[in-house]
Structures are given as structure tokens and as C-alpha cells.
Amino acid sequence: MKNTKLEKKLLEIFNILSKAYGPQKCNLDHSTPLQLLVSTILSAQCTDARVNIVTKTLFKKYPDAKAFASAKLEDLEQDVKSCGYYHAKSKNIIAACKMVMEDFDGVLPDEMDELVKLPGVGRKTANVVLGDAFGKPGFPVDTHVLRLVQRIGLCKCDDPVKIEFQIAESFPAEKLADLSHLLISHGRKRCPARKPDCDHCEIKELCPKLLKASK
């Protein structure tokens, strides 16, 4: 059920951050939905900048699902080693691409229910792909988004899936991916986990923590 109070606050935050940062997009370099899927898997516990360095040559070596599905595990591990957790990530990428080849005729599916069937793909990864590769409603809840929605008082729970659904129910579907990008940008620039820059925060008038402290 739509929460009108939450909807109003989300729209205020969206409008303020849009003016502050301008249009935002996924920081992971990709030219196909499958490349974005692979990049997102690699980005777990790794910076986007490092992933982009790795995938610049990786996608030349493995241009499609067929190539990844045929890759030798030990070879792929060496190719993505600098991204961390390379054994699990390589194993999931190969397994996911094998499933894409076998179950989806080599074409990455564009539906949540099908994407999360792929090894190593949770709702966050699926939402990234849906929103940024397919232009479908998707609200990825990463560590920045999780931190901000709690600090700003948008959601009280700490379950990413519950947060995703609460936000999605109270915000225009076509802007969900953009909202996630804006929150991520704000989390990185202004509201990091440690030492948030509250004095210069663009949305401090909407932050209950700061409002309470000012009284």
C-alpha cells in the first residue's frame, strides 16, 4: 500500500538531490545487459573503479554469455583476481552464463523472477540490471542506500528487500533507478558511514537526526 507521507518525502529528496547532482547513472562500464550483470557480480566488496579496470580487457576476452560459459574456472579467476573473492565470483559468473545459454537461449532475461534464478544473482544485482540495462523499474539497495534510508528516517528496518518494496510502493516506478543512483551519489559524497558532512548536507532539513539535534 502506498504511503503518502513517505511518497512526499521521497519526492522532496529526489528533487533536491537532482538539482545538487544532476542526472546520475550506473558507474559500471558496460555495453550489454550481460556485461552489466557480470560487472555487478564483480563489484561486491570492490570499487566500481577497480571493476571497470578489470572489465576493460575482460569483455574483450569474453564478449558474450557463450564465451563466459566456456571459460575455465582457473583462467577466469586470474582475470578477475584483483576484484576480490575471485573464486566465488568466477564460479557464479560461469554458472550464470551456462544457465543463460541453456535456459534462455543465450539471451539474458529481463524479468526479476528469472534473473534471481541465476547463480550469484540476488535482488540487488537484478535491480541494477533491470533499471540500468533494460530500463525497467528497479531499486537496488546497496550499502549507501541502506545507510541513507535509515539515517533520513525513510525506513526503520534493515532488511534490503523490505526497504526495496517499501520505497517501490511509494515512488514513481520510472524514477526508481534514478532515485537509487542519487542516494548512492549522496552517500559517497556527503553522507558516508563515518564522518558525514551534515553541515553542508543538501537534505539536512529532511533529516530527523539533525532536526532533533537542532532543537
H helices within 22-159, ranges in order?
33-42, 48-61, 65-69, 73-80, 86-103, 112-115, 123-132, 143-151
Task: Give the integer Cα–Cα distance in Å for 94 and 79.
Answer: 13
Asked if residues 129 and 37 have their Cβ atoms less than 8 Å apart, the reply is: yes
**Which residues are CB-contacts of 75 (< 8 A; sequence separation ≥ 6)?**
none
Cβ atoms within 10 Å, residue 134: 16
Dihedrals phi, psi of 206, to nearest 5 degrees = -110, 5
Q: Give the integer Cα–Cα distance in Å for 57 and 68.
A: 13
Which of 111, 120, 114, 182 minimizes the C-alpha distance to 152?
A: 182
How far is it, in rounded angstroms, from Cα 34 to Cα 131? 13
Give 94: exposed, middle or buried? Use CB within 10 Å, 0-12, 13-18, 19+: buried
Provide the annotated active-site residues: 124, 142
